[in-house]
Amino acid sequence: MFLAASFLFTLIVHLFIFSLNNLTVVLIPLISGGLAYLIFYFLLKQFISTRLSQIYNSIQLSQNTNLASNNSIDTLMDKAEIEVDKWKNDRNFEITRLKEQEQFRREFLGNLAHELKTPVFSIQGYIVTLLEGGLEDKKINRSFLERAERATDRMASILDDLDQITKLEVDELKNEIRSFDIIEVIKETFESLEILAKSKDYKLTFAKEYSPIYVMADRTKIGQVFSNLLGNAL
């Protein structure tokens, strides 16, 4: 009886150990596989997360770079547009200035040719008068010679004005402002146009006597203005 009980107990122990060993054999692979799966899942998740983060950062950097690049391009385009507008305005101003200079040149040369006719005509008239007998007349010979001299000076002054064209082109055209008697300038203009006026039965004179009137201006240019006005009127 005791032997049978011992045998039975021993058998149960062996069966338990065998079952436990078998269970261990089964559980260890399962546990190892589960742990391996968890580790693999964690590592895979980390890898994917890292790669996605890198891709996102690359995209974000690219967007920022493109934005900065676009801003830089926009800035360059704006600057280029400003430079082009400035160049265009400068060229328009230069063209306008050249046109004004060309117009002034044409008008100036036209006025110059017109002004030269007056002293030339006056000198011619004085010489003819002197040759026709006035040279022996002491009342007029000296007076006419003095007027011819003034007409010659007037011609020289007009020819000197040709330099004004060059001065205009280099922006050096300046007026010689000084004080002078404008009544005296008008009288000189009357004298220079006397021969021309007489040829058309006119007499240039003041309606009354005037005291000297002093003004501040360019005497030569004011004389040209009076000569042109009266010459055109005749």
Residues 51-76: tens digit of each pLDDT: 666 665 665 555 555 544 555 555 65
Least confident residue range of 34-38, 63-67, 213-217: 63-67
Residue bearing the bigger pLDDT, 224 or 35: 224
Answering whether pTM is above 0.85, one says no
In a domain, residue 234? The reply is yes
Q: CB-based contacts of 174: which residues, under 8 Å, 6+ apart? A: 167
Our count of domains for the chain comes to 1
Token duo for residue 93: 């101003």
Q: What is the CATH number of the domain that holds 228?
A: 3.30.565.10
In a domain, residue 9? The reply is no
In a domain, residue 8? The reply is no
Give per-residue pLDDT as tens, 154-211.
887 777 777 666 666 555 567 788 999 999 999 988 888 887 888 888 888 888 888 9
Mean pLDDT, residues 111-118 taken together: 76
- Separation between Cα atoms, residue 83 and residue 71, nearest integer Å: 18
With residues binned 3-state (H G I as helix, E B as strand, rest as coil), the percentages for the chain, rounded to 5, are 80, 5, 15
In a domain, residue 135? The reply is no
pLDDT of residue 71: 55
In a domain, residue 180? The reply is yes
pLDDT of residue 184: 92
pLDDT of residue 124: 82
pLDDT of residue 180: 92
- Separation between Cα atoms, residue 151 and residue 141, nearest integer Å: 15
- Separation between Cα atoms, residue 58 and residue 95, nearest integer Å: 54
Amino acid at 139: K
In this structure, the chain runs to a length of 234
In a domain, residue 97? The reply is no
Token duo for residue 3: 């032997």
Torsion angle, alpha carbons of 219, 224, 225, 226, to 10: 90
Terminal Cα distance for the chain, rounded: 174
In a domain, residue 54? The reply is no
In a domain, residue 61? The reply is no
- Separation between Cα atoms, residue 76 and residue 159, nearest integer Å: 54
Structural domain boundaries enclosing 190: 175-234
